[in-house]
Amino acid sequence: MRVLYDGWSLIHQPDGAASLHLLTLLAALGYDVQPLLALPGEAPGWLPGNVVTISSQVGSAIRDRLAWEQRTLPHLARERQAALSHLTTATPALFASGACLLSPAGVPLEKMEAGFWSRLRESLAQGGMSRLAGLLWPEDLREAAPGDLAARSFYLPPSIYPGFFEQAGEAPALDLPETFILYHGSYEPGSLLRLLEAWSWAAGAIGEYYPLLLLGAGRAGGRIYESLAASYDFGASVRLLPPVEPSQVAAVYRACTVYFHPADVLPWENPLRAALVLGKAVVALDSMLAGLVCGPAAYLVGSGNAHGASARGETARALGAALITVVVEDGLREGLELAARERAAGWRLAERYQEFGERLLEIYRTAAGAAS
């Protein structure tokens, strides 16, 4: 069975959640599936050897990605006679003829940058979602699955990029400080503003010895960060890390003191799971998904019921205070680290990966059969 995968993230955000999830999917495949990986650029040398790459030179602007999603991917699926397409962002083509599956790991479209091409991209993708063959969702997060897609939902064991289970990995040449706070989440403006506002409350107390490091921005995220960070005077207490290869992401997590996530999370390859697997203390914004993933193994800060600038300021202060508390109180941090390891113990089993691959193949066969 031939399955086409959208490799946009592997080129433009290789250390982001969508990229890690795509690599997890490819690692889970058996010999029954021939993966066709569409890439908007030259294939990186670190790709797994079990994929057939289809490379095209494509620009990185929103209009280029729109054409990639709505025209190039459907054309490649037809040309290569793929049984179905599998996406990691909610951008199915409106006029695709074959079956399309989605396991959401990329930032929702409604949170992307504004502009005509973004609005057109969102509109076409929403139309494509109405024709989606199936939504793949972690079985331990069923409670948070979208109800409007319940009839087309398939459930799989939770997945984590295999590199997070390796005892040692190649350390990236990033000159990491001995102690630091790590953020590896969305770079859409709302999430970044919350991150920067929360850090403005914490930086004075801990920023000198525990700087904030940001990973996985990609080109677009880096531009958004630079525009927003210009309004703050954080100095050396905040650092945007350059892209690293997917295999090196876990090494950055292992080196951090606390993982900080004042942003929404997505179901697949969300960084909260990764941080818990590595036994890291987590401070995060509370949400249904965050609560289901972390349980009592993280310091979750609620956003309250109020709205407006005042409520956002209160949330930022609460997040900053929580981060300071976990950093300076060794007993609390060590307790969270122990709880993280206990919480993630069930995710470490090798047979779960085997089950993930087997059930993924079943879903592929079901979706392809329904479309034929």
Average pLDDT for residues 111-129, to the nearest whole number? 83
Judge contact between 19 and 5, C-beta under 8 A: no
Distance, CA of 278 to CA of 347 (rounded, Å): 11
- Band (pLDDT 50/70/90 cuts) for residue 111 is low
Which of 21, 1, 5 has the alpha carbon at shortest distance from 249?
21
The residue assigned the tokens 């100095």 is 235
Which of 295, 264, 263, 298 has the alpha carbon at shortest distance from 279?
298
Residue range 7-36, pLDDT digits in tens: 999 999 999 999 999 999 999 998 899 999
Measure Cα distances from 34 to 15, 50, 120, 327, 364 in Å.
Answer: 24, 8, 33, 47, 12
Asked whether the predicted pLDDT for residue 306 surpasses 50, the reply is no
The token pair that represents 304 in the structure block: 């309250």
Distance, CA of 57 to CA of 321 (rounded, Å): 46
Report pLDDT for 308. 62
CA 319, 321, 323, 326 torsion-angle sign: negative
- Fill in the DSSP letter of residue 68: I
pTM assigned to the model: 0.93
Asked whether the predicted pLDDT for residue 96 surpasses 70, the reply is yes
CA 17, 42, 87, 132 torsion-angle sign: positive
Judge contact between 334 and 5, C-beta under 8 A: no
Give the amino acid at 353: Y
Distance, CA of 301 to CA of 19 (rounded, Å): 28
Asked whether the predicted pLDDT for residue 309 surpasses 80, the reply is no
The token pair that represents 276 in the structure block: 């818990």
